[in-house]
């Protein structure tokens, strides 16, 4: 008999990384989500799961529409940071972002997206801290062919951390193992968002070559996820 409760088992479930978007009261908003999946093919319906703490959640409830952008593997941390670690209560996340509107009026983010789709809500299920929304597609479009970002890749290679409102957030030990590690250079962690600067990886998206130790990273460099300065990092 298998008993016990090793929550690390949950890490073996595979997810992607998506931007879920909506528009309500004339306001565009969106967030990073990793729980998006197809539930039926006829009609084509997909489901999303959003934290009740997030503004996007409230706006989807209001509008009854949502969009999904499937992110590509080399999506820069900056885009993930904008949609994942900042709140639409403070900023317009769509400023400077390339998007188009779907037939139901939802803004669909095209930057770094393999595909975009829009859905009208057909079912809502309360699941404690989160709400599961099911929606029937109103449009779907393939934008480019390349590997999709998986949640595993995001954690292991991009060194991303789950926002606390992600359904899969785990406040337990058992983080995925590092892909490679150089003992001579230390990792530094962002005190604000948990992004880890790994010298062997650098931050090529922002001009820091792999192999750059943290003290050689330019002073003007900021956390690629949340935007704070180097002084907010501590040795991991």
Binding residues for Fe ion, per CB under 5 A? 190, 192-193, 195, 223, 225-226
Q: Which CB atom, from 117 or from 225, has the smaller least distance to Fe ion?
A: 225
Residues ≥6 apart with Cβ < 8 Å to 91: 82
For the four alpha carbons of 89, 104, 21 and 93, in that order, the dihedral sign comes to: negative
Give 183's contacts (C-beta < 8 A, 6+ positions apart): none
* Minimum separation from the CB atom of position 192 to Fe ion (A): 5
- How far apart are the C-alpha atoms of 218 and 231, rounded to whole Å? 12
Query: Could you tell me if 155 and 66 are in contact, meaning their C-beta atoms sit under 8 angstroms apart?
Result: no
What is the smallest separation between the CB atom of 204 and Fe ion, expressed in angstroms?
17
Q: Tell me whether residue 171 or residue 234 sits nearer to Fe ion (CB atom).
A: 234
Identity of the residue, 106 or 225, whose beta carbon is nearer to Fe ion in the bound complex: 225
- In angstroms, what is the minimal distance from the CB of 195 to Fe ion? 4
Tell me 72's DSSP state: B
Cα–Cα dist 86/90, whole Å: 7
27 or 78: whose CB is closer to Fe ion? 78
Is 32 in contact with 163 (CB distance < 8 Å)? yes
Q: Looking at beta carbons only, is 60 or 223 nearer to Fe ion?
A: 223
| In the complex, minimum distance from the CB of residue 10 to Fe ion, in angstroms, rounded to a whole number | 25
Q: How far is the CB of 223 from Fe ion (least distance, A)?
A: 3
């Amino acid at each position: 008999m298998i008993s016990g409760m090793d929550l690390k088992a949950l890490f073996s479930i595979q997810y992607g990384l998506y931007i879920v978007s909506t528009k309500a009261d004339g306001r565009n908003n969106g967030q990073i989500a990793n729980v998006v999946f197809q539930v039926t093919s006829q009609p084509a319906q997909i489901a999303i799961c959003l934290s009740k703490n997030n503004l996007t959640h409230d706006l989807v409830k209001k509008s009854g529409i949502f969009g999904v952008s499937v992110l590509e593997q080399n999506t820069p941390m900056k885009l993930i940071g904008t949609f994942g670690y900042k709140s639409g209560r403070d900023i317009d996340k769509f400023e400077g972002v390339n998007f188009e509107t779907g037939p139901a009026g939802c803004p669909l983010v095209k930057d770094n997206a393999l595909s975009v789709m829009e859905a009208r809500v057909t079912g809502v299920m309360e699941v404690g801290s989160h709400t599961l929304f099911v929606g029937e597609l109103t449009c779907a479009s393939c934008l480019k062919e390349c590997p999709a970002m998986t949640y595993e890749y995001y954690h292991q290679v991009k060194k991303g951390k789950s926002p606390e409102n992600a359904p899969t957030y785990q406040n337990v030990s058992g983080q995925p193992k590092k892909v490679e590690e150089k003992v001579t250079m230390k990792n530094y962690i962002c005190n604000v968002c948990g992004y880890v600067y790994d010298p062997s990886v650098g931050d090529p998206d922002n001009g820091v070559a792999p192999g750059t130790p943290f003290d050689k990273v330019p002073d003007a460099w900021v956390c690629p996820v949340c935007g704070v300065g180097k002084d907010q990092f501590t040795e991991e």
